[in-house]
Structure 1
Amino acid sequence: MSENVCAVIVTWNRLETLKTALAHILAQTVKPAMILIADNNSTDGTREFLTTLKDQPNMGCLYLDTNVGSAGAIASAMKLGLGLADYDYFWILDDDTFYDKNALRELIDNIRNSPFDLLGLHGALIRFGKKRPLDPASKLQAADYALIDGALIKTAAIRQAGVVDEKFFMMCDDHEYCMRLKKHGFRIGVLQSGTDNRLYLGGQGRFTRATLWRGYYSSRNHLLIIRQYFSLVNLMGYVFLQVKLITAAALLAPDRFQRVKFRLVGIWHGIRGIGGKTLDPGTLKFRSVKQ
């Protein structure tokens, strides 16, 4: 049985994890009509592996010339999918999350029988500029924010509100997308089904290399969102959070000077409205930017 769903998988230099993630997608009891794999210019043999899939039905690969981050890759794959066929839904996936075989079936069943236009597996309420947890006892509920990894989105909503904004590169793109969908009158929901196993390979820990460059993009992108959807409450919450994080880094981080610098540069770039890939996660070097 095939459903009219276009699954989008974003990957970068995680070949073995990608293979496992793809196996979980192919094992779904309700299978996507199309699987699009967006490769962010991997150098670990991912592209060579993807070429072996070219003859498989209902599977396509998008080879990006440079690493445009998760936001850029999702946006590119969404645009490609919108031009391929009139799918009912897009299922947005990362390469380090593995899904139970009934994950897609549950998402489809619940989005069909609810008022939601985007249905994610994790999310939050936003109160006074801060994320608040959802009711753990409620399996299906309305939310202000849903994690885009694992989210099922109605194609009609994407066509009206647009694709994910690639200027965010990494971090906060799902936050902005939920705000944009709501601005267009669409509703966000969360299905707490427990059907996903997220490995969090993108970065965990308090003062790791990943949280160093993520701190830059988080501070910048949150400010870009505030510029676009201004709220005094959200601005005050942002200022409080940045002061807290900068103080913690200055007092506790072993790389305190670099960490504080990256966050301050992120704030400055956010004030100036600068988006895109401005800090290379691999080299930790900034690119020249123009406003």
Structure 2
Amino acid sequence: MNIKVCAIVVTYNRLETLKTAIAHILGQTVPPSEIVIVDNNSTDGTKEYLQTLQGKNSIHCIYMESNTGSAGAIAKAMTYGLTRNTYDYFWILDDDTFYAANALKDLIENIEQTDFVMLGLHGANFKMGAKVHADPNVRLQEIDYAMIDGAIIKADVVRQLGPLCEEFFMMCDDQEYSIRIRRAGYKIGVLKNGADDRQLLGGGGQFTKATLWRNYYSARNHTFIIKKHFSFIEFIAYCYHQVKLLLTAAILAPDRFRRVKFRLLGIWHGIRGVGGRTLDPGTLKFLK
């Protein structure tokens, strides 16, 4: 294949998992032309390990001065890749997902044979603001939204639309990018081939420490999306969704007051346009 792909890997304090993830990327039957690894200021020896890989196996490492989340790191890598001006695609990867050897080859072959500009391994449609997962029995299909992890995106489209919004930090950045793509008149697809083995999923439960910060960023970033891409139907769906989640937390959560506070703050920060890393996921302390 005479197709040039820039693989982007974002990592933060997952050194051992990262090592396995890199091995799976290097084991692709159709390897990427370059692997750009962005370290979000890890403190577990990741930077020192990456320094031993720099320049080997077409690996280029970028070291962030602070944790910019997945959105900031992917945006940084996309900007770097665009300056190279040689890539046909970006392949966006996470440090906690292991990809089968045929993953990239399968994505390239399918996106080349269709009019999709972004092809993911997971995706959904939207119905009144709610996600309806893609049909698991259909291998290749058009959808409204593709999860960024594992997705391949045409570089020319990234050049036209710009990279991910850094202000999102975590959560919903791929949803916003999918909206941008569709509003520009392009199509998004999902390839259900089971080529990814995701290790660390979601927040680990409904009322965990992880869902506290995830719910905050989700509420804030959904507000960003409504402001950026306003539609009356989506606004009504957004209001219904937020009220439903607030009531669920208020009635069922053991730490109901804190959960309601975090979600309300997320909405308020979204309205005010307070973006970036505003809440530390580790300490659950607000930074802005």
Task: Output the TM-score relative to the length of structure 1.
Answer: 0.96
How many angstroms does 1:200 deviate by? 2.5
| Residue in structure 2 matched with residue 165 of structure 1 by the alignment | 165
Q: Which moved more, 1:44-53 or 1:245-254?
A: 245-254
Number of matched residues?
A: 288
Distance in 2 of aligned mates of 1:282 and 1:253: 20
How many angstroms does 1:137 deviate by? 2.1
| Residue in structure 1 matched with residue 256 of structure 2 by the alignment | 256
How many angstroms does 1:3 deviate by? 4.2
Distance in 2 of aligned mates of 1:57 and 1:267: 44
| Residue in structure 2 matched with residue 247 of structure 1 by the alignment | 247
| Residue in structure 1 matched with residue 22 of structure 2 by the alignment | 22
| Residue in structure 2 matched with residue 112 of structure 1 by the alignment | 112
Q: Which moved more, 1:236-245 or 1:157-166?
A: 236-245
How many angstroms does 1:161 deviate by? 0.7
| Residue in structure 2 matched with residue 103 of structure 1 by the alignment | 103
**8 Å CA contact 1:170, 1:217 repeated in 2:** yes
How many angstroms does 1:111 deviate by? 0.3
Structure 2 regions of 5+ residues with no counterpart? Answer: none
- The amino acid of 2:65's aligned partner reads D
How many angstroms does 1:202 deviate by? 5.4
SS at match of 2:4: strand
Distance in 1 of aligned mates of 2:101 and 2:32: 12
The verdict on how the C-alpha distance between 1:2 and 1:52 changes in structure 2, with shifts beyond 3 A counting, is farther
Q: 1:1-291, aligned counterparts within 5 Å? A: 3-201=3-201, 203-288=203-288
**What's the CA shift string for 1:10-40, capped at 9, x where partnerless?**
0000000000111100000000000000000
SS at match of 2:275: coil
- The amino acid of 2:278's aligned partner reads T
**What's the CA shift string for 1:226-258, capped at 9, x where partnerless?**
111111211111111111111111122122111
What value does the CA root-mean-square deviation take over the aligned residues?
1.2
How many angstroms does 1:62 deviate by? 0.3
**What's the CA shift string for 1:130-170, capped at 9, x where partnerless?**
21122222111101000000000000110001101101000
Distance in 2 of aligned mates of 1:137 and 1:14: 33
Task: Output the TM-score relative to the length of structure 2.
Answer: 0.97
**8 Å CA contact 1:2, 1:33 repeated in 2:** no
Distance in 1 of aligned mates of 2:93 and 2:45: 20
Q: Which moved more, 1:23-32 or 1:84-93?
A: 84-93
The verdict on how the C-alpha distance between 1:181 and 1:142 changes in structure 2, with shifts beyond 3 A counting, is same
